[in-house]
């Protein structure tokens, strides 16, 4: 049933699958409604006994824009006999195909249906998706918050996000940050790196492998030399040849290769197939190597951290001994201070003795002067006799 409803008679659905509404697109829709009115009605259902008689099933973005544009009445499609689950499914159906519904919102919506008892196959059929699509979306729910935000912002694509979601939270941040900052030439390289991290988590032979014996070392050395020589020849011979052929015109090649052209086409086809296969393997190997380096660096940091903690504990353990030594020094200094205290009481006597000596010293020169004068006179009189 279609009817014009007062906008204040409609309440948004608290279980709305979409949680994010783009501000710029909201302004654009508001401007369009102000110019042309609401062209597509919102979908609501009656709610008995509620303060607001109708609840939105679909069209919350339109309802918000109408309120912002100052509309008091809007057209609505009223669906009766619709329970909470059916309303939620309709809300997902209305939003799941829209570009502005984020990947994580879509994943959370499917998860709610799984909680309600829906199988992945039923969800896929309901929304016209493949069962694999549903499972991959549900697989994103193990992403930590920071990485899921990168996915919603479009910094990480869904396919890569699924591979990252298989990792533990710490490695999720390692893979996500390295991809976002541009450490990889392609998304495939980032996937191989994530898979390599997963292998290290599972503690496969890559991380638990024991040191090879002398025979194994020689074998690996020979394999390395052979591979390097073969790839070196391909770079020196095959690559220039292909570059030279690529510069020629088809009619020239038809004449140059003649009757052998069909055979060469087959050879190049096989070569192309093998090159793609080897390139993919090398990319995976590169991902594993980078993951092993990251794991090694992480363990090196852990060892460094443990060493620093041990050093800190050793310093803290030595501190009490230093304090006791200081206490002993202070304790040995205290008796000396106590002995000096009684001496302070005898200071007045010392001052008295000092004063007496000073007075005597002052008197002594006077006496000597007085005694010296007669001698001087006698000495002067002697020549006169």
pLDDT digits (tens, 9 = 90+) for 322-350: 444 444 444 444 444 444 444 444 444 44
Q: What pLDDT is recorded for position 162?
A: 94
Burial (0-12, 13-18, 19+ Cβ within 10 Å), 17: buried
CA 179 to CA 367: how far, in whole Å?
107
Assign residue 73 a region (left: φ > 0; alpha: ψ between -120 and 50; beta: otherwise). beta
Q: What would the DSSP string read from start to end of 229-281? A: HHHHHIIIIIHHHHHHHHTS-HHHHHHHHGGGHHHHHHHHHHHHHHHHHHHHH
189 is known as an active-site residue: no
Q: What pLDDT is recorded for position 300?
A: 59
Other Cβ atoms within 10 Å of 55 Cβ, number: 19
Length of the chain counted residue by residue? 385
Q: What pLDDT is recorded for position 179?
A: 93
Q: What pLDDT is recorded for position 150?
A: 92
Q: What pLDDT is recorded for position 61?
A: 81
Phi, psi angles (nearest 5°) of residue 58: -150, 145
CA–CA–CA angle 48, 62, 44 (5° rounding): 20
In the set 9, 24, 51, 60, the catalytic residue is: 60
Assign residue 117 a region (left: φ > 0; alpha: ψ between -120 and 50; beta: otherwise). left
Other Cβ atoms within 10 Å of 57 Cβ, number: 25
pLDDT in tens, the chain (385 residues): 788 888 888 888 877 666 666 677 778 878 888 878 887 888 888 887 777 888 888 778 888 889 888 888 888 888 887 777 777 777 777 666 665 678 888 888 888 888 878 888 988 988 888 999 999 999 999 999 999 999 988 899 989 999 999 998 888 998 999 899 898 888 988 998 898 888 888 764 444 455 566 777 778 778 877 877 878 888 888 888 888 888 888 888 888 888 888 888 888 888 888 888 887 787 777 777 777 777 666 665 666 676 677 777 777 776 655 444 444 444 444 444 444 444 444 444 444 444 444 444 444 444 444 444 444 444 444 444 3
Q: What pLDDT is recorded for position 22?
A: 66
CA 343 to chain centre: 72
Alpha helices in the chain (DSSP H): 23-36, 60-68, 84-95, 103-115, 120-127, 131-139, 145-152, 158-165, 169-180, 187-201, 205-208, 214-233, 239-246, 250-257, 261-345, 347-381
Residue appearing with tokens 């909470």: 84
CA 338 to CA 344: how far, in whole Å?
10
Count CA atoms closer than 13 A to 41's CA, side-chain side: 17
Q: What is the DSSP letter of 185?
A: S
CA 311 to CA 288: how far, in whole Å?
34
User: Residues 6 or more apart from 20 whose CB is under 8 A from it?
Assistant: 102, 105, 152
Q: What pLDDT is recorded for position 156?
A: 94
Closest alpha carbon to 136 in 125, 150, 120: 120
Q: What pLDDT is recorded for position 164?
A: 94
Token output for 186: 């392609």
Cα first-last separation, the chain? 165
Closest alpha carbon to 149 in 250, 20, 59: 20
């Amino acid at each position: 049933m279609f009817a014009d409803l007062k906008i204040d008679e409609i309440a948004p659905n608290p279980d709305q699958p979409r949680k994010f509404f783009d501000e710029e697109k909201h302004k654009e829709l508001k401007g369009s409604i102000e110019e042309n009115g609401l062209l597509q009605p919102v979908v609501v259902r009656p709610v008995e006994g509620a303060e607001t008689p109708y609840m939105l099933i679909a069209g919350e973005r339109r309802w918000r824009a109408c309120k912002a544009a100052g509309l008091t009445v809007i057209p609505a499609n009223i669906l009766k006999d619709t329970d909470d689950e059916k309303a939620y499914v309709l809300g997902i159906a209305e939003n799941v195909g829209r570009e502005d519904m984020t990947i994580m919102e879509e994943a959370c919506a499917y998860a709610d249906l799984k909680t309600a008892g829906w199988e992945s196959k039923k969800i896929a059929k309901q929304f016209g998706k493949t069962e694999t699509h549903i499972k991959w979306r549900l697989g994103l729910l193990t992403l930590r918050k920071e990485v899921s935000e990168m996915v919603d912002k479009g910094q990480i694509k869904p396919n890569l996000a699924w591979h990252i979601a298989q990792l533990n939270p710490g490695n999720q941040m390692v893979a996500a940050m390295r991809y976002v900052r541009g450490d990889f030439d392609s998304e495939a390289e980032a996937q191989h790196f994530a898979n390599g991290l997963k292998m290290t988590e599972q503690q496969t032979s890559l991380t638990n492998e024991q040191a090879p014996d002398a025979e194994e070392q020689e074998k690996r050395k020979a394999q390395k030399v052979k591979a390097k020589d073969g790839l070196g020849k391909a770079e020196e011979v095959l690559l220039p040849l292909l570059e030279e052929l690529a510069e020629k015109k088809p009619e020239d090649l038809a004449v140059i290769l003649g009757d052998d052209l069909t055979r060469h086409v087959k050879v190049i086809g096989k070569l192309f197939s093998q090159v793609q296969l080897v390139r993919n393997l090398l990319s995976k190997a590169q991902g594993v190597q980078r993951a092993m380096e990251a794991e090694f660096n992480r363990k090196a940091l852990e060892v460094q951290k443990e060493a620093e903690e041990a050093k800190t504990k050793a310093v803290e353990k030595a501190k009490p001994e230093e304090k006791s030594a200081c206490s002993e020094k202070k304790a040995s200094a205290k008796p000396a201070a106590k002995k000096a205290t009684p001496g302070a009481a005898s200071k007045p006597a010392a001052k008295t003795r000092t004063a007496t000596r000073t007075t005597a010293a002052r008197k002594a020169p006077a006496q000597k002067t007085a005694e010296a004068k007669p001698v001087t006179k006698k000495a002067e009189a002697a020549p006169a006799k």
